[in-house]
Structure 1
Amino acid sequence: ITMGKEKKIQVRRVFGYFWGMSFLVVHIIGADIFAADILLRECGAFPVYVGWPCALLSIMTTLCSAEIGITFPCSGAHYYFLKKGYGNLISFLNLWTALFLGSGLAASQALLLAEYSIQPFYLSCSAPKLPKRCLALAILWTVGILNCRGVREVTWLQIASTVLKMAILGLISLNEVVLLVREWNENVEIFQNSFDAEFPEASQFIEATFQGYFANSGGGCFTYIAGELKEHRKTIPRCIFIASPLVSIVYLLVNISYLTSDTQGNSLFRFVYAVAITWTDRVIPSLTWIVPFGISASLFSKLLINGQLPLLFNMLNIYSSPFMSILLLATMASIAIVLTNLIDLINYIYFAVSIWTIFSLTGILKLRYQEPHLPRPYKVFLPFPLVAIAISLCLILIPLVKSQHMHYVYMYLCVFSGLLFYIPLIHFKLRLIWFEKMTCYLPLIFNICIPDVSDEQMIEEVETIKKIAF
């Protein structure tokens, strides 16, 4: 935050290319072979193969998000994009859903971090649920307190965890080459028989896709912090074009390493759900404690970043920003940790993500047609949003027809429940006296205020209007 000579308070553009690269890598990596994928026990290696098409889907949606972030260079660009493309109703429902998605993502990362931190103490069985949830809550609020000091002050942890994470993945990938050469015939047989298992049902296939998408998603995070990047028009595409293919290649090598370390009749997931830990037990037993530490550090920094993303409360504090958004996020994430488990949480989140992915991608096509002269320094290749729309439609329609779980219907109800607040408060402008009083007193209590529009943002908006008009 910066305060100029005229007493303006606003978020500065302080992050450059290197920070953007580490931000994107940390935000994407964290849940492929590292996720607690229970479906692997039921579908064999099938979810591992599903992860590869999910990587391609993630790259396509990431490139689409890049166009949004560059065209609307402000923090929370996705919200302004939906408001411009669809109006107030859709943008409000997106903000309403983000209230739950942001806390759900933080809760899933805290649960996953707790899984890896506590699992080494229970090598012969699965860890109890109560200690994992208590540890996840402790981690969540510790991260919230640290993040109140601002993202920049914890950037060192993000960069260090990125280096540590890539080193561990590089070690796993190198071991894959050694195993392939040392036991060539046995490994070739494993790959040939990897699809011998019965093809999963449609609902299981969709859930496996959600798991893979959870592993590879995160590339669209730049739309939330576009207002804090230096030279965002150059930084965003450079980071995406380098980080996304790099992460996909690393995932591919690590998945192959997992398959080469497994053998027929060896149920790796009979007791232990943490895949990275079982991988080290099988291949490098001496690293059983090191890999969970590396994964925990990387997920810890990812939680730090997630605290900055939900810009639900727009007020800023000079010394401990963004305090209000962290408080809201941590409170709702704590509820999610107590009431649900990791796998169900992932399915809930990415079913809703698929819904809003369709709105975002169709919005790109809509604005391309309605406002062709809107300044777009970067344009995504047109077939990418079309293919991603088709896949996302399948992800939200098939579960409603084939799945026996009602939580997909609940997600639809959750999204449209925002109408209960939009119609009276936004459309009819109903005023709540008690809420207005609370809005007046909270800034005094927490020493926060509404940020001013930066001169840079004002100049960009004026230039955009001129280009559209002339």
Structure 2
Amino acid sequence: MDEERIGERKESQNGSTGHKVDCQAKDKKPVKATVLQKDVGLLSGVCLIVGTMIGSGIFISPDAVLLYSGAVGPCLLIWAACGVLSTLGALCYAELGTMITKSGGEYPYLMEAFGSIVAYLYSWTTVMVLKPSSFAIITLSLAKYASTPFYPGCTPPLLVTKCLSAAAILLIVIVNCLSVKLASYVQNFFTAAKLVIILVIGGAGIVMLAQGKTETFSNAFDGSSSSVGAIGLALYNGLWAYSGWSQLNFITEELKDPSRNLPLAILIAIPLVSVCYVMVNIAYFTVMTTTEMLLSPAVAVTFADRVLYPLSWIVPLFVVFSTFGAANGSCFTAGRLAYVSGRGGHMVKILSYISLKRCTPSPALIFNGMLAICYIIPADIKTLINYLSFAQWMFFGLTALALIVMRFTRKELHRPVKVPIVIPGLMVLVSCYLVLAPIIDKPELEYLYCTIFIFSGLLLYYPFVYRKVKWARKLMRPITMHLQLLMEVVPPEKTE
């Protein structure tokens, strides 16, 4: 490939020989290959899952889950059910991740089971919409909580929120471009911070329950919603708070001993998050009625004002820490998907290049950050969540189906973890329900737009991926060369 020759030329300009470079210090450390390094251990893996799952969702979604479920009782049941569904889905991904030890989340599994077109449509949708819009949603939440204390009694100006969100995106992208270890340290620190605030809120809730604050729990099922579509939307918003359970599969190639650490990190992280979520929601209901919770612009801040005053400022501060950590985890994994799909020829080649000095997929990370900044312009968080969940659960269902298919088509593959086939079957059914129920109950144009966008990728697939038209390669060659020289990146070394 011409791009690879450019990469080799760039390596020679930097004084390297062959395909080996020193990612840290030329004279002091062993020479490393120009590939992503295995720098993520069990603790960092657990922190990545917990840190990405516990982000903005638990501080945004409680009111939405309550709104669609209609009462306290079904609201808490939905939060618990979302934890069970996330655990079952993660067990499916544990089998897939230990069977096919490639980064990129669902991408290599769909490629192996269904071929290039399905994998391409996944990477097209996820790289262009799902990952950057998720990044945007989390940073918008961060900006909302960071600015709320400065505007008591009113909503922060939209321009302030958007500017803070863009600043957070830029900072996180810079951190992830600088070093994998730095990004992991940041993730570990902010995960510890968010667990502290979860324990503070949950502990305060236990104290309030002990004092007899149980009025909201009386007649907990009165007014429950019976609409199939409403329950589906409640599950959407609850599962949005749990989104992140599949994040470790995006960095399998950077995980130490994935056959052990991938399933172990899942079994530690997801039950921990489930307990935290139910505990926090119970705490909210001890001090707020359902109406007050629905009307609160920032549920966690309202809780803090009533329970922790004069130390109520602690909660919004730690919520900012929490959302920052979740955004960091989202950026970390999104860059890997763009990198892997670029390496597979489904995205422009420059996205698969690695920083010569820092061994990070900086072009993919920067591209994801640029798209995320574009997605903060609408700033309609709940619409984005519904749009995101619709497409995401389509691919979750396809991935669970891929596991079933490969049980018959790829029997020879080694499976360190093997789940009962009924679990992926259940995930396929749940995914079909979550995709179809809201559409049937209340059709919205956003679902049509999402479907059209997914399949519009085929318009690019045929000429640029399948046919590989020559004029496109000629057009991209100088662009790739100049971007490569500007960012000091090289093609990854091919390793077995």
TM-score using structure 2 length: 0.86
> Per-residue CA shift, 1:73-92, capped at 9, x if unaligned?
12225312111100010010
Q: Does residue 451 in structure 1 map to residue 492 in structure 2? A: yes
Other-structure match for 1:115: 144
CA distance in 1 between partners of 2:417 and 2:353 (Å): 31
Q: Does residue 366 in structure 1 map to residue 391 in structure 2? A: no
Other-structure match for 1:352: 391
Q: Does residue 391 in structure 1 map to residue 430 in structure 2? A: yes
CA distance in 1 between partners of 2:448 and 2:168 (Å): 31
| Aligned pairs (5 A) from 1:31-180 | 31-35=56-60, 37-39=62-64, 40=66, 43-45=70-72, 46-99=74-127, 100-180=129-209
Question: What is the CA-CA distance between 1:200 and the residue it aligns to?
Answer: 6.0
CA contact (8 A) 1:50 1:209 kept: yes
Other-structure match for 2:21: 3
Q: Aligned Cα RMSD in Å?
A: 2.1
SS in 1 for 2:310: helix
Q: Does residue 252 in structure 1 map to residue 270 in structure 2? A: no
CA contact (8 A) 2:111 2:119 kept: yes
CA distance in 1 between partners of 2:413 and 2:109 (Å): 12
Residue identity matched to 2:267: F
CA contact (8 A) 1:47 1:212 kept: no
> Per-residue CA shift, 1:169-193, capped at 9, x if unaligned?
112222222222211xx51x42232
| Aligned pairs (5 A) from 1:217-366 | 217-263=243-289, 267-270=292-295, 272-310=296-334, 311=336, 312=338, 313-320=351-358, 321-366=360-405
Question: What is the CA-CA distance between 1:437 and the residue it aligns to?
Answer: 2.9
Question: What is the CA-CA distance between 1:51 and the residue it aligns to?
Answer: 1.9
Q: Does residue 208 in structure 1 map to residue 247 in structure 2? A: no
CA contact (8 A) 1:162 1:298 kept: yes
Other-structure match for 1:22: 47
CA contact (8 A) 1:36 1:273 kept: no
SS in 2 for 1:194: coil
CA distance in 1 between partners of 2:397 and 2:252 (Å): 21
Count of paired positions: 450
Alpha carbons of 1:387 and 1:41: their partners in 2 closer, same or farther (altered >3 Å)?
closer
Residue identity matched to 1:135: L
CA contact (8 A) 1:68 1:81 kept: yes
Alpha carbons of 1:273 and 1:49: their partners in 2 closer, same or farther (altered >3 Å)?
farther
CA distance in 1 between partners of 2:323 and 2:31 (Å): 40
SS in 2 for 1:308: helix
Alpha carbons of 1:36 and 1:135: their partners in 2 closer, same or farther (altered >3 Å)?
farther
Comparing 49-58 with 86-95, which one deviates more in the overlay? 49-58
Question: What is the CA-CA distance between 1:198 and the residue it aligns to?
Answer: 5.0
Question: What is the CA-CA distance between 1:303 and the residue it aligns to?
Answer: 2.0
SS in 2 for 1:378: coil
CA distance in 1 between partners of 2:138 and 2:31 (Å): 41
SS in 2 for 1:76: coil
Question: What is the CA-CA distance between 1:273 and the residue it aligns to?
Answer: 2.0
CA distance in 1 between partners of 2:31 and 2:200 (Å): 53
Other-structure match for 1:182: 211
Other-structure match for 1:465: none
> Per-residue CA shift, 1:336-384, capped at 9, x if unaligned?
1002411111111111110001110000000001122211111123222
> Per-residue CA shift, 1:97-153, capped at 9, x if unaligned?
111111011101111111111112233122232211111111111221222102311
CA distance in 1 between partners of 2:142 and 2:175 (Å): 17
SS in 2 for 1:34: helix
Alpha carbons of 1:378 and 1:59: their partners in 2 closer, same or farther (altered >3 Å)?
same
Other-structure match for 1:194: 220
Residue identity matched to 1:367: M
SS in 2 for 1:288: coil
CA distance in 2 between partners of 1:330 and 1:7 (Å): 27
CA contact (8 A) 2:105 2:246 kept: no
SS in 2 for 1:127: coil
Other-structure match for 1:442: 483
CA contact (8 A) 2:190 2:325 kept: yes
Question: What is the CA-CA distance between 1:47 and the residue it aligns to?
Answer: 4.1
Other-structure match for 2:4: none
Alpha carbons of 1:151 and 1:6: their partners in 2 closer, same or farther (altered >3 Å)?
closer
CA distance in 2 between partners of 1:353 and 1:277 (Å): 30
Comparing 100-109 with 302-311, which one deviates more in the overlay? 302-311
Q: Does residue 403 in structure 1 map to residue 403 in structure 2? A: no
CA distance in 1 between partners of 2:331 and 2:224 (Å): 41
Other-structure match for 2:347: none
CA contact (8 A) 1:22 1:158 kept: yes
Residue identity matched to 1:281: D
TM-score using structure 1 length: 0.90
CA distance in 1 between partners of 2:363 and 2:382 (Å): 29
Residue identity matched to 1:11: L
CA distance in 2 between partners of 1:73 and 1:337 (Å): 34
CA contact (8 A) 2:56 2:142 kept: no
CA contact (8 A) 1:308 1:322 kept: no
